[in-house]
Amino acid sequence: NFAHWVAEATVTHVRQQEGVDVQILRYLPGQRFSAHHDYLNIEHVGEQEEIARMTNKGLYNRFITLFLFLRDVPPGGHTNFPRAGGLSAPKDDEECSVGLPVRGNAGQMVLMYNLDAAGAENELSLHAGCPPESGEKWLATKWIWNRRDPDT
C-alpha cells in the first residue's frame, strides 16, 4: 500500500506512525489551489482549538509533504514553487508563471520539506496548484509530521 511504502521509504527516514492518510486531489480545467504553505503556522491558526491540539500548540508540525503524480500533468496544471531559489514572496497568490514549475508524469514523486532541520518553518516551501488548461490533474499527497500526538 502507498502509505506504508512512503512511510518506510529510505527517502523520508520517518516512522510510519508519523504520517497521515493519503489525500487524492483532482483538478479540472481552470481549477487551482492558491499559493500556500503546508506547515501549520501556530500564530495564524492558534485560535482554532483543533489545530492547537493537533500541533500541541506548535510543537508538532507537518515536516514533509510528498506529492505522487497519478497521471501525466496536463499543460498549465503544474505545481508551482514561487519562492524556489530564494525568490521574493509573490504579490499574487494565484500567479503561476514565476518560480519553479513542476509538471510531473504518472508515477513521479516530489518531496518537499515544510520545516528545516531545527523545526523552523521553511518559507521557501510556498507552492500552488496551477489550473490545467484542459484534461484533469490527479495526484496523491501525504504529510509526514515531525512528531504526532498519539491521541490524533
Render each residue's pLDDT in the chain as its tens digit; 152 residues.
555 555 555 455 555 555 567 899 999 999 999 999 999 887 776 577 877 787 887 788 999 999 999 999 999 999 999 999 999 999 999 999 999 999 999 999 999 999 998 889 999 999 999 999 999 999 999 999 887 655 55
Give first-to-last CA distance, the chain, whole Å: 21
Residues, the chain, total? 152
Q: Please give the grid coordinates belonging to residue 128.
A: 500552488
Q: Quick one: residue 77, left, alpha or beta (phi over 0 = left, psi -120 to 50 = alpha)?
A: alpha
To the question of pTM greater than 0.85 for the whole model, the response is: no
The secondary structure of residue 146, as a DSSP letter, is: S
CB hemisphere CA count around 46 (13 angstroms): 7
Cα 139 from chain centre? 11
